[in-house]
Amino acid sequence: KAGVTQTPRYLIKTRGQQVTLSCSPISGHRSVSWYQQTPGQGLQFLFEYFSETQRNKGNFPGRFSGRQFSNSRSEMNVSTLELGDSALYLCASSLVASESNEQFFGPGTRLTVL
Amino acid sequence: GEDVEQSLFLSVREGDSSVINCTYTDSSSTYLYWYKQEPGAGLQLLTYIFSNMDMKQDQRLTVLLNKKDKHLSLRIADTQTGDSAIYFCAARVRGGGADGLTFGKGTHLIIQP
């Protein structure tokens, strides 16, 4: 069974631009979560989607948004990029959206904002 | 909210056991996880433990949970060079509206030959 895939793997943008990252969960998994990983803040939760609905949201500004499609694939969008948005963005999928289900992570998208 | 703490570095000799420690603050945390991250890669789930368990063993990995002290540990027996990575402890709190997983900052495991 294929794992979680994320595209693109690497991205370079400039301040003020916007970016869209994509995540394909493991087949059959309906819950997708997004995390931001930086050296200073570590791993921080962005949001969680289940059945095309945002179920939970972390403490990030409205420039960060996401969505989930009917095939469970998810995208996250960051508008008006800032230097501090440079990070590894990780997507994780789980079978159902409950706390009992372990999350499986993709390799991440490395975003660099210049 | 939940806060998860880990020491930043651990250095062990190849062949010895490694013990990585983690503390958390929210006693309602129901599931506690250990993830491994190798350079340039995402997070790999190693193991997890439910809050009603004290210990879980899986091959070279042993997880111990002390609910009273809110302390979690991961023991890796016979540590090998391939175990060199960052190990993250994570907690998930019971109930709807949980903000996903709360991660520690990660422990860098350094293997000495």
Residues A41-88: tens digit of each pLDDT: 889 989 999 999 998 888 899 999 999 999 999 999 999 999 999 999
Mutate to test the interface with A, among B22, B28, B32, B43 (most CBs of A within 10 A): B43
What is the reported pLDDT for B41? 83
Answer whether A92's CB lies under 8 Å from A106's CB.
yes
pLDDT at residue B99 in the model: 58
Three-class secondary structure assignment of chain B = CCCEEECCEEEEECCCCEEEEEEECCCCEEEEEEEEECCCCCEEEEEEEECCCCEEEECCEEEEEECCCCEEEEEECCCCHHHCEEEEEEEEECCCCCCCCEECCCEEEEEEC
Residue B96: pLDDT band (50, 70, 90) is very low
Give the confidence band of A99 by pLDDT, cuts at 50, 70, 90. low
DSSP H helical ranges for A6-107: none
**Cβ <8 Å between B43 and A92:** yes
Q: What is the mean pLDDT of chain B?
A: 90
As a whole number, mean pLDDT of residues B63-79 equals: 95
Comparing CB atoms, the residue among B30, B48, B100 nearest residue A102 is B48
Check if the beta carbon of residue A58 is closer than 8 Å to that of residue A48: no
Q: What is the mean pLDDT of chain A?
A: 92
Provide the Cα torsion B7, B63, B50, B71; round to 10°. Answer: -40
| Cβ-defined contact of B98 to A99 (cutoff 8 Å) | yes
The answer, yes or no, to whether residue B52 has pLDDT greater than 80, is yes
Residues of A in contact with B107 (CB under 8 A): none
- Using 50, 70 and 90 to split pLDDT, how confident is the model at B97? very low
For B72-84, write each residue's pLDDT tens digit. Answer: 999 999 999 999 9
Of all residues in chain A, the one with the smallest CA distance to B44 is A105
Q: Inform me whether the pLDDT recorded for B31 exceeds 90.
A: no
Lowest pLDDT segment from A23-37, A65-79, B67-81, B93-107: B93-107
CB B94 within 8 A of CB B31: no
Contacts of A42 (CB under 8 A, 6+ apart): B103, B104, B105, B106
